[in-house]
Structure 1
Amino acid sequence: MEYTPISPFMRPISHAHLRVIERPESSVPGKPVNKWELLRELSKAQAAFGVSERDLTVLQGLLSFFPDDALGGNTEMVVFPSNKAICERLNGMPCSTMRRHLARLVDAGLLMRRDSPNGKRYVRKRGEDRVAFGFDLSPLYCRAEEIARAAEAVREAEDRVRRLREVVSLMRRDLAALAEFGEEIQPGLGLWDQLSDTAALTARALRRKLSLEELSAFRTELESLLDQARNVIDGPDTEEMNTNDAQFERHHHNSNKESIDLEPALEKGGAAAGAPDADPCEPEAEVKEPDMRRVPKIPLHLVLTSCPSLKTFYQGDIRHWHQLFDAACHVRPAMGISVSAWEEAQRCMGPEQASIVVVAMLERFADIRSPGGYLRALTSKAAAGEFSCGPMVMALIGRRSAA
């Protein structure tokens, strides 16, 4: 057609009608776009374009009148159904409602009206010329790339929210577990009630659909409480609370001859080196099951002071018992301790005490002929309830003081 009208038939003109009709070539995708895929992308990014689900339902009905699955190419993208035909395609939607949603699609710049002189919608052909009056879908096609980018941004935002929600859920679970664990090892501390209440409130909040900002606030609060709990349970804050226990361990060291210096048969050669073949936890033996959930009574800083060689082989920070366990797992293969011996030590001593034994052995590694056999022998004593790691640590401190 030689002229493209901008005013609607018997309706006031608006800014939507004054938009540039002929878009620059650079803004046109240049290749056909599947109309249904484009509609799905627009549905994902509908908030960015200010349209509702009902608006998109009407747009879906209009797209169904377009004969091809792909928009673009040289095909004129004008559909010309009557209001009655559109409402029938929309399962009997009232005509007034349909017109209201059409107006919103035009205002959003996704459709353009091509009204004839008398307001009717039709197509007129004369030879190869074709003139159609109705709803032009070319704005939707021209904004295909913009719609795709907006939909991808929405997906990325949803993925960030989903990942953060998973993190908050896991942190809430850890908080509840630490509250229960802390109440067992240090009953009566008010922090455990705070942790338990926060975990319950977070679980209740997670039933709702939370925004990224709300989830970030929950994560910050939970991180702070988790750090407090770990500091109380196995961090530097436990040192003063364990002072009396450490004094008991020193007294035990002075009266009990189980220290690392007083077990030469296990350190140097001989028949004792055959200890690795013994099963430290045989069913026939009277095995005293250790309490694996108890944190060692000896302060962590005392262990690190007595075993400075650990810093040579492990560069990470060690401020909590779980970090000492990571360090022991790191140096264990280099010491020649088998996986089975390490797992047996953890089962009979507990992960924390087994870690102390391994790092203490590392400090005296040159004096131990068979580290795996030595660990199995100590594991056997622990299984019988006859071993404590306190004397080993105190013996190493005594050696450093005497040096």
Structure 2
Amino acid sequence: MGYQSLTPFGRTAEAVRAALRTPARPAEMQAPVDKWQLLRDLTAGRARFELSDRDMTVLQALLSCHPETRLDAASGPLIVHPSNETICARANGMPCSTMRRHLAKLVAAGLIARRDSPNGKRYARRLAGTKIAFGFDLRPLAQRAAEIAGAAEACRAEAAERAALRETVSLQRRDLVALLDLAAQEAPSDPAWSPLADLATSTARALRRRLDRETLARIEAVLSDAIATARQMLGFESDDPSTSDAQNEQHQQKSKKESLDSESDQVAMLEETPSPVSDISGPQEDAKKIEAPLPPFRLVQNACTEIAVFTPDPIHDWPSLIRATDKIRPMTGISDAMWHEAKSIMGAGQAAAALSAMLQRFSEIRNPGGYLRKLVACARDGKFSPTRMIMALTPSPT
């Protein structure tokens, strides 16, 4: 008595072949396991076993037919024998055809085994005091408890890592959008921001889908580079905890020591260095038709601090900087005609940036009017770059 058939009742040749190929598990059992904890672990790691949530619903219905909370093969057989109607009722009214399909999926995954009776019915009876049952054997599920627990732990760790990456990408996208909004106020004419804006848009579109860990990691790396580029374009210093105040002071002294001794030397440097505008536009005659983009306002504000000494009004954007330079210009000895010519050739923003840079090193400029006249001549020839002029005032890293 107690013989277990090798093949299912009334199945196709393919089902018989699959049953014969299923490797036999060792008869030894580990310690009894909680069936509901086992179900929770399998639900968490079901992707490793290629199971769906509907498969788990059917397995839950089968486990509910086992009277004990713990699965222990040593205490008796682990065969449950519910009817199809009972399984469908405990599976929240699942159609019988759907239920049978998910049962076959659980059998194929090696989590349960069919123990069919001679006539294919599911029942239990006692013979000479021994219980004989035909139905679904839960022993394979209990035997794979350790494997299921490991798969669940791995899936939970992967899900936590994926959630952390998704949060990081979401925060990075938000920071990039904020930097783009700031750039729209400080450097609205700079075309270099367009690729970053496209990146922010495509990232928001990608986050609507369920992304895997590898894709999120790639997006995180791209956004990190984009944020670093945006900070550099806006003139923000990168946080370096290894740089002390004494080192910053040394940088400033070195920058001042290496500065040009006269306005003629500074203008010569502008003439010798090719303008970014001329590099992009090609022919030199076309360069003067294209106005060089304004430097980021934050860069001007950080590099040109002397202008705030000459005006009581706060300077927080380009219009306020232009108003401040209009008020300060008479104090520098620059004539009205020269200033109007500078604003018409350079533009009001570039003229304001140039005068702010001049104020930063005003003690080194012998003739402010002549110095501005040479800058205007450079701008007329397409050789003037206010960004490069401002960058010359910033401390160079060692």
Is TM-score (shorter-chain normalized) higher than 0.5?
A: yes
> Are residues 214 and 31 of structure 1, via their aligned partners in 2, closer, same or farther at CA, if it must alter by over 3 Å?
same
**Secondary structure in structure 1 of the residue aligned to 2:43:** helix
Instruction: State the match for 1:297 in structure 2.
Output: 303
> Are residues 203 and 18 of structure 1, via their aligned partners in 2, closer, same or farther at CA, if it must alter by over 3 Å?
closer
Q: How many residues align?
A: 259
Instruction: State the match for 2:242 in structure 1.
Output: none
Instruction: State the match for 1:101 in structure 2.
Output: 102
Aligned positions of 1:2-401 closer than 5 A:
2-12=2-12, 13-23=16-26, 25=28, 28=29, 30-72=30-72, 73-234=74-235, 295-297=301-303
2:158 maps to a residue whose letter is A
**Secondary structure in structure 2 of the residue aligned to 1:296:** helix
CA distance in 1 between partners of 2:193 and 2:135 (Å): 69
**Contact 2:65–2:80 (CA under 8 A) maintained in structure 1:** yes
Q: CA deviation digits over 1:86-145, x for unaligned, max 9?
A: 233334433332222211111110111111222222222235422211110001111111
> Are residues 182 and 199 of structure 1, via their aligned partners in 2, closer, same or farther at CA, if it must alter by over 3 Å?
same
**Contact 1:6–1:18 (CA under 8 A) maintained in structure 2:** no
**Secondary structure in structure 1 of the residue aligned to 2:201:** helix
**Secondary structure in structure 2 of the residue aligned to 1:14:** helix
Q: Percent identity?
A: 44
2:143 maps to a residue whose letter is C
User: Which sections of structure 2, spanning at least 5 residues, go unmatched?
Assistant: 238-254, 264-296, 306-313, 317-358, 365-398
Normalising by structure 2, report the TM-score: 0.57
Instruction: State the match for 1:308 in structure 2.
Output: none
CA distance in 2 between partners of 1:110 and 1:179 (Å): 54
1:195 maps to a residue whose letter is L
Normalising by structure 1, report the TM-score: 0.56
CA distance in 1 between partners of 2:90 and 2:230 (Å): 62
CA distance in 1 between partners of 2:102 and 2:183 (Å): 59
**Contact 2:122–2:133 (CA under 8 A) maintained in structure 1:** yes
CA distance in 2 between partners of 1:124 and 1:9 (Å): 19
CA distance in 1 between partners of 2:228 and 2:262 (Å): 30
Q: How far off is 1:294 after superposition?
A: 6.0
CA distance in 2 between partners of 1:174 and 1:79 (Å): 57
**Secondary structure in structure 1 of the residue aligned to 2:135:** strand
1:65 maps to a residue whose letter is C
CA distance in 2 between partners of 1:23 and 1:249 (Å): 89
CA distance in 2 between partners of 1:190 and 1:106 (Å): 61
Q: How far off is 1:293 after superposition?
A: 9.0
CA distance in 2 between partners of 1:210 and 1:117 (Å): 49
CA distance in 1 between partners of 2:70 and 2:25 (Å): 20
Q: How far off is 1:161 after superposition?
A: 1.2
CA distance in 1 between partners of 2:169 and 2:77 (Å): 52
CA distance in 2 between partners of 1:247 and 1:4 (Å): 94
> Are residues 195 and 249 of structure 1, via their aligned partners in 2, closer, same or farther at CA, if it must alter by over 3 Å?
farther
**Contact 2:25–2:140 (CA under 8 A) maintained in structure 1:** no
**Contact 1:84–1:95 (CA under 8 A) maintained in structure 2:** yes
CA distance in 2 between partners of 1:204 and 1:53 (Å): 27
> Are residues 186 and 88 of structure 1, via their aligned partners in 2, closer, same or farther at CA, if it must alter by over 3 Å?
closer
Q: How far off is 1:19 after superposition?
A: 2.2
Q: Let me know the Cα RMSD of the aligned residues.
A: 3.6
Q: How far off is 1:224 after superposition?
A: 2.0
**Secondary structure in structure 2 of the residue aligned to 1:124:** strand
**Contact 1:35–1:71 (CA under 8 A) maintained in structure 2:** yes
**Secondary structure in structure 1 of the residue aligned to 2:99:** helix
> Are residues 234 and 145 of structure 1, via their aligned partners in 2, closer, same or farther at CA, if it must alter by over 3 Å?
same
> Are residues 161 and 89 of structure 1, via their aligned partners in 2, closer, same or farther at CA, if it must alter by over 3 Å?
closer
CA distance in 1 between partners of 2:150 and 2:206 (Å): 32
> Are residues 17 and 78 of structure 1, via their aligned partners in 2, closer, same or farther at CA, if it must alter by over 3 Å?
farther
**Contact 2:186–2:298 (CA under 8 A) maintained in structure 1:** no
